[in-house]
Amino acid sequence: MAAMNPQTELRVRTLSIHVVTWNVASAAPPPDLSDLLQLNNLNLNLDVYVIGLQEMNCGIMSLLSDTAFEDPWSSFFMDVLSPLSFVKAQTSVARGSLELLPALCRSEVSSVRMQGLLLLIFAKYQHLPFIQILSTKSTPTGLFGYWGNKGGVNIFLKFYGYYVSIINCHLPPHMANNDQRLEHFDRILEMQNFEAQDIPNILDHDLVLWFGDMNFRIEDFGLHFVRESIKNQCYSDLWEKDQLSIAKRHDPLLREFQEGPLLFPPTYKFDKNSNNYDTSEKKRKPAWTDRILWRLKRQPQATIHTPTLSAPHFTLFLRSYVSHMLYSISDHKPVTSTFDLELKPLVSAPLITLLPESLCTEESDLLISYSLTADFLSSPWDWIGLYKVGLRHINDYVSYVWVRDNQVSFSDGLNQVYIDISDIPETEDQFLLFYYSNNLHSVVGISKPFKIQPRSFLAEGPLDEAQPQI
């Protein structure tokens, strides 16, 4: 019998990704975003949320407040998604530099903000060991390239071993500025280089998700014709005059970016707190300004109804591309896409395996056993955090331990450390352990949920002053 090819033993995984783009026009979050996040769709089992906002409140007082504290939108999304096991995928400042950096300079790389632009990534916690944030970039294009009211923000990551870039952008407005929009599109693309990661060009990445308020307009047709076409849901004539669609027909690079069919009404410009298109004196012509595009490496020619391939085992299917008329806090309607990403993981096992079955308590300490792969390079600043299930982000640890400082034994690849649990009251809550790698700036191991057996806890004791910060 012929030997089995090791590649055939890898199982294909299907992961669902929900992408949101919304120009929120400086508004605060509405009370309910269930429709936007598809929380009531029982047919969806989402793994990742990618959320891009434009025109967040970027007044000086708001920016200072959001630097010191979580901005209202990020906080809102964390409150909604954390009970569903979603965590912001993020990185940390190295332990040795904590004393050198003020608190306001510590970065969260699961999110990146440039004035009014915000980009967030949430993933179910079991995926975190396979998500490595490699870099973030902000590319301002406003005021001759120095002002961040327009431009793009990017998160570049490894996802189960594949390179993925995610870009949220806000391009120049107005009908006459189409050439400028295309120029800014090219400029943002040119600035996404990552020499330090040995991936010199964004076009070498396996997947690029590009979305935002692109501000492309509908040419030629007058206001009355456009509004009547929308009223009668006759969009085909409008598609022919959509500036982005026209540019994609002529620009070889843009042509490589795909988009779902525009089967929803133009998403701009509405009177706030209504579903009526602009009734002001300007009476701006409706347009599909808010778009979600994607590009897969080495993709063949394909239609929207067929899968598109970037590599032998990396396949993307578009499940939905819709607007959400329910929300009226802005003059834009939000747009979402849901994708199924089918892949054979290039990384199929975590670098660290935490063993909850080996947990035992002794006085005020919890003994943790863990193993690591042969190619994992540990650091003196690696740490293990103890979390309650439902954490909002990685700063929400209830206790932690520096693995080198508190190591008690190791043999045959099995390591053991104690973690202080004296501050934890008796509870029936479930807990998780995260192993954070300082070298990789990411979570590389997560335990299964477990309970700490009720016991008599000691009085509270002080925490180590050098706490891990994100």
Domain 12-343: give its CATH code: 3.60.10.10
pLDDT at residue 195, rounded to an integer:
64
Q: What percent of the chain has pLDDT over 70?
A: 77
On the question of pLDDT at 346 being above 80, the answer is yes
Mean pLDDT of 192-219: 86
On the question of pLDDT at 103 being above 50, the answer is no
Mean pLDDT of 374-386: 92
Range with the poorest average pLDDT among 61-65, 245-249, 379-383 = 61-65
On the question of pLDDT at 387 being above 90, the answer is yes
Range with the poorest average pLDDT among 210-214, 340-344, 358-362 = 358-362
Please give the C-alpha separations between residue 455 and each of 108, 361, 365, 460, in angstroms, as whole numbers.
Answer: 36, 9, 12, 15
Say which residue, 466 or 34, is predicted with more confidence: 34
Location of each CATH 3.60.10.10 domain in the chain: 12-343
On the question of pLDDT at 466 being above 90, the answer is no
Say which residue, 141 or 469, is predicted with more confidence: 141
Mean pLDDT of 98-121: 50
Using pLDDT thresholds of 50, 70 and 90, give the confidence band for residue 420: confident
Report the CATH architecture of 352-451.
Sandwich (2.60)
Using pLDDT thresholds of 50, 70 and 90, give the confidence band for residue 359: low
Tell me the per-residue pLDDT of 234-292, one tens digit each, with 9 for 90 and over. 999 999 999 999 999 999 999 999 999 999 999 999 999 999 999 999 999 999 999 99
pLDDT at residue 102, rounded to an integer:
25
Location of each CATH 2.60.40.2840 domain in the chain: 352-451
Using pLDDT thresholds of 50, 70 and 90, give the confidence band for residue 142: low
Tell me the per-residue pLDDT of 23-57, one tens digit each, with 9 for 90 and over. 999 999 999 999 999 999 988 999 999 999 999 98
On the question of pLDDT at 114 being above 70, the answer is no
On the question of pLDDT at 433 being above 50, the answer is yes
On the question of pLDDT at 312 being above 60, the answer is no
On the question of pLDDT at 178 being above 60, the answer is yes
Q: Are strands 48-54 and 111-114 parallel, antiparallel or unpaired?
A: unpaired
Mean pLDDT of 421-436: 86
